[in-house]
Amino acid sequence: MANIAKKVSWSGRGDDRGERTPLLNGDEEVKYNRQLSGGGIFHIGRLSTVDLEEEITPEEDIVRSRPKEIPHNEKLLSLKFESLDYDNSENQLFLEEERRMSHMGFRCLEIRRWVICGLIGFLTGLIACMIDIAVEKLAGYKYFAVKLNIEKYTELGGLSISLILWAVLNSAFVMFGAIAVAFVEPIAAGSGIPQIKCFLNGVKIPRVVRLKTLVIKVFGVICSVAGGLAVGKEGPMIHSGAVVAAGVSQGRSTSLKKDFKIFEYFRRDTEKRDFVSAGAAAGVSAAFGAPVGGVLFSLEEGASFWNQMLTWRIIVQYNLYEIPLFIIMGALGGVLGALFNIINYWLTIFRIRYIHRPCLQVMEAMLVAAVTATVSFAMIYFSNDCQPLGQDNTEEYPLQLFCADGEYNSMATAFFNTPERSVRSLFHNPPGTYNPVTLGVFTLAYFFLAVWTYGLTVSAGVFIPSLLIGAAWGRLFGILLSFIASSQSIWADPGKYALIGAAAQLGGIVRMTLSLTVILVEATGNVTYGFPIMLVLMTAKIVGDYFIEGLYDIHIKLQSVPFLHWDAPPTSHWLTAREVMSSPVTCLNRVEKVGRIVDVLSNTSTIHNGFPVVAHTSENDEPGIICGLILRSQLIVLLKHKVFVERASSRLSQRKLQLKDFRDAYPRFPPIQSIHVSQDERECMMDLTEFMNPTPYTVPQETSLPRVFKLFRALGLRHLVVVDNENRVVGLVTRKDLARYHVGKDGLEELHLAQT
């Protein structure tokens, strides 16, 4: 966020610095921020606990002083989120270091990268195992206790006691998880995939890759899955992998104040991003046992450079049997997924408005846990679908209830179990295991439970519930087909339709395509369904996109994150850099007075993070010729080490400032307020030449928006300087300037910027 002196609406274009805050009014901001933490999957943080160690995010100060109310926040773009810088600042220090490094040195770096990746894989696998084992154990104890209780009371009567026991156990587990998330680390709520998606896209989501987040996430997901919620543990595992990667690759933990002094070379955004995407892949790999799918996942969700549409266009070339059926199922998945997303969207809006206090959030989570238990119990109780106990006894906890001896209640297979086991039994159980009514009722009940659950303040994923819903109606679809078709043998395998249905439902909700195909193929170990799964995912995506976006994108949008999509909106050739850029820009001179630098950095009304360095003084308001770009964080480090021209003579005794000094401060640079500069020092001069990036990317004013967008996105920039034809700085383009434009119902729309 280089320049918040930004026009707020399309019409107010000129010098509208004063118009910046029309959306801010009243004193509801703290409440609003609470709402955010409570509602969506994003929990950026409560303002009461602003961390002073955090790199300065001065909007928070502004927010504190100027509260606001934002009625339709998906039409806004938040100014709260900083951008990550995936473009190296190639200043003299950096170039000197690179040039000193031998060919062997680069080899060693490469080896170190592999070592880090190995560590990431190992630790992620360990964490995933831990989660798995803990969930299995806890759920085992719970189901065992409830089963004993049910068996006891089935004959005695008084099954309501069993219900209460079950509901209380569930609520208790969920309570612990929800408390940890709501009170300790709100960002650990939800699946974590949208946050990782944003991180890889280049948006800095505060605290998303911290150790504390990891601990709470792991604890939270164990509690919520063991608590019987309609959730999965895959999303949290992926998030865990990303956190592990961010930690390991930096060779230190800022939270634990422990620096291992290794991997210092990797302390910058570019390297960190690469490792985080590897960590996410390791997470998928651990969660689904799908390494290739993992790689594709992090490509599809992360890498800037991969155009999904192109990929999908490539794949439509194949021909097979049963295609119409699969297309129908895909469309059904798309419609149901869209329905899921729409309901969840309204629910999230409701949560943002009304359920914003942590204790309310914990109570809602407990309520959902109790309702889940009750609904499940009622389903089991009223269902009279008795099935003979198989020889192989695939059921973990077969409930006899009112069934005859040697039989078990088949509804209980679906409900009296962790969702993962339920999916497996829907895929693999032989034909005749479930009757259609059971499946229909189950689909309906679980659908609404899952919608309600997603967005609770617990760490939880949406993969497995989606698969479960889809598997249920898919199996139902298969059974109905076999009634209709004359030849039983063709439609003999309802498990196949369960798989296809699961894919359709998941695709309809999250709208991922290629990576999901490979994940599902790898997870089921069955490559022959590769094509149908692809087809179904694509149909579900197309149909679903017609109604509403994917679940993750909805939640990203509700948070007003400046997310950059693959391409600029197609109809945006009308706009040029001149109209898109922020201006005027605060520039610094190559040799600048310390006092001015401190003033510029301290100015809370125009908080910039990057400053073009110009050759000539711009006293007389004429823009200077660009000769570099320097970041706020670099200036802070320079001020902290008092690198002033006047001290150069005494500095001869001192050691010269090294790249290491910048790396040590990465990524949590101190705020300017914490640096003391005396009145004498204010009169000193600072020479920025050595530290600025001497060759920032620039574009002329006439460049069209798609062209600016392409450059920005392909190179992962944070600041793009706009110059006139004599290389004088006239503006600066940042992520928000580009993310503001999107295609709405009636063509190109512009989002409002707000200090959300």
Question: Rounded to whole angstroms, how far apart are CA atoms 671 and 99?
Answer: 32
Burial zone of 724 (CB within 10 Å; 0-12 exposed, 13-18 middle, 19+ buried): middle
Select from 697, 742, 749, 750 the one that contacts its own copies (CB under 8 A).
697
CA distance 753 to 384: 57
Q: Of residues 285, 409, 586, 633, which one binds its own copies by CB under 8 A?
A: 285
Measured between alpha carbons, how far is 539 from 676 in angstroms, rounded to an integer?
A: 60
Could you say which residues in the range 724-743 bind its own copies, by CB under 8 A? 725-727, 743
> Does the footprint of its own copies cover residue 525 (CB under 8 A)?
yes
Strand 588-589 relative to strand 610-614, pairing: parallel
Maximum C-alpha span of the chain: 95
Nearer to its own copies, 402 or 547 (CB): 547
CA of 582: how far to CAs of 130, 659, 721, 733, 737, in Å? 49, 30, 10, 6, 7
Work out how close the CB of 733 gets to its own copies at its nearest, in angstroms, rounded to a whole number: 13
Residue ranges in 485-514 that form contacts with its own copies under rule CB under 8 A: 514
Do residues 673 and 632 touch, judged by C-beta distance below 8 A? no
Kindly identify the residues of this chain, within the stretch 63-92, that bind its own copies according to CB under 8 A: 88, 90
Nearer to its own copies, 349 or 743 (CB): 743
What are the tokens at 279? 């960590």
CA-based torsion, 304, 247, 214, 739: positive or negative = negative
**Residue 580 C-beta: closest distance to its own copies, Å:** 13
Q: Is 700 in the site for its own copies (CB under 8 A)?
A: yes
B/e letters for 144-182, b = 16+ CB within 10 Å, e = fewer, are eebbebbeebbeeeebeebbebbbebbbbbbbbbbbbbb
Backbone φ and ψ of 216, nearest 5°: -65, -40
The answer to whether residue 622 forms part of the interface with its own copies (CB under 8 A) is: no
- Which position among 375, 681, 694, 749 is part of the footprint of its own copies (CB under 8 A)? 694
Q: Token pair of 575, please?
A: 């706009």
Phi, psi of 495 (to 5 degrees): -60, -35
Q: Which is nearer to its own copies, 703 or 756 (CB)?
A: 703
Q: Helix, strand or coil for residue 131?
A: helix
Q: Is the peptide bond before 584 cis (omega within 30 degrees of 0)?
A: yes
CA-CA distances (angstroms) from residue 749 to 10, 560, 569, 572, 709?
9, 15, 10, 10, 16
Confirm or reject binding of residue 749 to its own copies (CB under 8 A): no
Q: Which residues neighbour 232 within 8 Å (Cβ) at sequence distance 6 or greater?
A: 225, 419, 420, 460, 461, 462, 463, 464, 465, 467
CB of 636 to its own copies, least distance (A): 25
Q: Return the number of the residue (295 or 355) whose C-beta is nearest its own copies.
A: 295
Q: Which stretch binds its own copies (CB under 8 A): 3-11, 160-168, 430-438, 698-706?
A: 698-706
Q: CB-wise, 459 or 517, nearer to its own copies?
A: 517
Binders in 149-178 for its own copies, by CB under 8 A:
none
Query: Do the beta carbons of residue 707 and residue 606 sit within 8 Å?
Result: no
| Residue closer to its own copies, measured from CB, 93 or 460 | 93
| Beta strands 741-744 and 610-614, pairing class | unpaired
Please say which residue, 216 or 720, places its beta carbon nearer to its own copies: 720
Of 315 and 598, nearer to its own copies (C-beta) is 315
Q: How far is the CB of 100 from its own copies (least distance, A)?
A: 10
* 689 interacts with its own copies by CB under 8 A: no
Q: Which is nearer to its own copies, 292 or 378 (CB)?
A: 292
Name the minimum Å distance from CB 531 to its own copies. Answer: 7
Count of residues binding its own copies (CB under 8 A)?
A: 86
Sole binder of its own copies in the list 352, 627, 639, 688 (CB under 8 A): 627
Other beta carbons within 10 angstroms of residue 360's beta carbon come to 16
Q: Does residue 220 belong to the site contacting its own copies (CB under 8 A)?
A: no
By CB under 8 A, is residue 278 in contact with its own copies?
yes
How many other C-beta atoms are found inside a 10 Å radius of the C-beta of residue 111? 10
Of residues 293 through 352, those in contact with its own copies by CB under 8 A are 294-295, 298-299, 303-306, 309-311, 313-319
Contacts of its own copies in 257-276 (CB under 8 A): 274
Among 60-68, 393-401, 468-476, 719-727, which window interacts with its own copies (CB under 8 A)? Answer: 719-727
Residue 118 CA: distances (Å) to CA of 199, 267, 279, 645, 754? 22, 18, 10, 45, 42
Say if strands 407-409 and 386-388 run parallel, antiparallel, or are unpaired.
antiparallel
* C-alpha–C-alpha distance, residues 643 and 635, integer Å: 10
Residue 101 lies near its own copies (rule: CB under 8 A): yes
Q: What is the DSSP letter of 627?
A: E
CA 316/CA 435 separation, integer angstroms: 36
Please report how close the Cβ of residue 715 comes to its own copies at its closest, in angstroms. Answer: 6
Q: Does position 534 bind its own copies by CB under 8 A?
A: yes
To its own copies, the closest distance from the beta carbon of 75 in angstroms equals 19
Return the number of the residue (218 or 692) whose C-beta is nearest its own copies. Answer: 692
591 binds its own copies (CB under 8 A): no
Rounded (5°) CA angle 678-682-685: 135
Per CB under 8 A, does 719 bind its own copies?
no
Chain positions 380 to 419 lying near its own copies, rule: CB under 8 A, are: none
In the list 35, 124, 341, 429, the residue contacting its own copies (rule: CB under 8 A) is 124
C-alpha dist (Å) from residue 502 to 438, 466, 580: 17, 7, 43
Stretch that binds its own copies, among 94-102, 421-429, 433-441, 731-739 (CB under 8 A): 94-102
User: Of 6-14, 122-130, 457-465, 478-486, which part binds its own copies (CB under 8 A)?
Assistant: 122-130
Q: What is the DSSP letter of 157?
A: S
DSSP state of 475: H
Of 319 and 489, nearer to its own copies (C-beta) is 319
Over the window 542 to 571, marking each residue x when it contacts its own copies by CB under 8 A and - when it does not, the resulting string is ----------------------------xx
Closer residue to its own copies (CB): 390 or 747: 747
The pattern of x and - marking residues 102 through 121 that bind its own copies according to CB under 8 A reads: xx--x---x--xx--xx-xx
| Binding span for its own copies by CB under 8 A among 169-177, 680-688, 699-707, 730-738 | 699-707
Residue among 214, 201, 211, 195 nearest 269 (CA): 201
Angle at 396 between CA 392 and CA 398, to 5 degrees: 85
Q: In angstroms, what is the minimal distance from the CB of 247 to its own copies? A: 16
- Cα Rg, the chain, nearest whole Å: 28
230-259 residues in contact with its own copies (CB under 8 A) are none
Question: 490, 527, 591, 648: which one contacts its own copies (CB under 8 A)?
Answer: 527
At position 593, the amino acid (one-letter code) is K
From 131, 225, 585, 626, residue interacting with its own copies (rule: CB under 8 A): 626
